[in-house]
Amino acid sequence: MKIIELENLYYRDKENIILDGVTIDINKGDCISIVGESGSGKSTLLKICADLIELKEGNIKFKGKDYSFYEATDLRKKISYSIQIPYLFGKTVYDNLEFPFKIRNKEVDSEKIINLLKRFNLDNDILKKNINLLSGGEKQRISFIRNIIFTPEVLLLDEITSALDSDNTNLIQGYVEELNKQGVTILWVTHSKKQSETIFNKRVTISKGKIEKMEEFN
């Protein structure tokens, strides 16, 4: 079953073509690594999938319906996007981790938050910590937790382990693999060839805004 369909996507800034006729079908349960040189269009592709930048040309569908069929807030609950340099808001870590509950009008599940912090080597005391005092690795883990407190249908990851050591990278990667086994569709941009060959069933190589190669792994 196709969960996201991209057809003839074109995107450009004032000077350059960023995406040049990208067409790809993403099936439910796919775990896809996306690789390519810096500036090749990888991050732009994820942002379009996340409905964060306006598509100029081409078509994009979620579960068979154009993105325009969905309310943006509803779509972003189904498709979660985590970036390399995370945007944290409010004053504290707690402000960020209560947010997914607030937008769903649900009571904050403190036990769930604490269990996820523990899972990713973070102490409970970090909830009170000012976001400006967090390390890059802490910010990446907090942003990731914020995105998976409620399990999405599609998880978009853009270089989310770039500031992490190998142990914490393995923790994130292991959790993503668990989510994928539960049926969550994964698109993960990485600069690491080694990482791109780990938990994935497919690898997409992008070059100069075009799909250069699609590989399938057993």
**What residue ranges define each of the domains in the chain, with the CATH number in brackets?**
2-88+151-216 (3.40.50.300)
Q: In whole angstroms, what is the distance from residue 17 CA to residue 107 CA?
A: 45
Q: Indicate the burial class of 177 (C-beta count within 10 angstroms; 0-12, 13-18, 19 or more).
A: middle
- Helices within 1-78 (DSSP H only): 42-49, 72-78
State percent of the chain over pLDDT 70: 100
| The predicted structure's pLDDT at residue 82 | 93
- Total-model pTM: 0.94
- Residues 132-169: pLDDT tens digits? 999 999 999 999 999 999 999 999 999 999 889 999 99
Q: Please name the helix (run of DSSP H) or strand (run of DSSP E) that holds residue 31, with its range, or none.
A: strand 31-35
Question: How many CA atoms, within 13 angstroms, populate the side-chain half-sphere of residue 96?
Answer: 27
Q: Above 90 in pLDDT, residue 26?
A: yes
DSSP 3-state of 41: coil
Q: Above 80 in pLDDT, residue 193?
A: yes
Q: Above 80 in pLDDT, residue 218?
A: no
- Let me know: does 70 contact 153? Beta carbons within 8 Å: no
70 pLDDT tier (thresholds 50, 70, 90): very high
- Output phi, psi for 153, to 5 deg: -85, -35
- Residues 27-52: pLDDT tens digits? 999 999 999 999 899 999 999 999 99
Helix, strand, coil tally for the chain in percent (to 5)? 35, 30, 35
Question: How many CA atoms, within 13 angstroms, populate the side-chain half-sphere of residue 147?
Answer: 29
Q: Which residues contact 74 (CB under 8 A, 6 or more apart)?
A: none
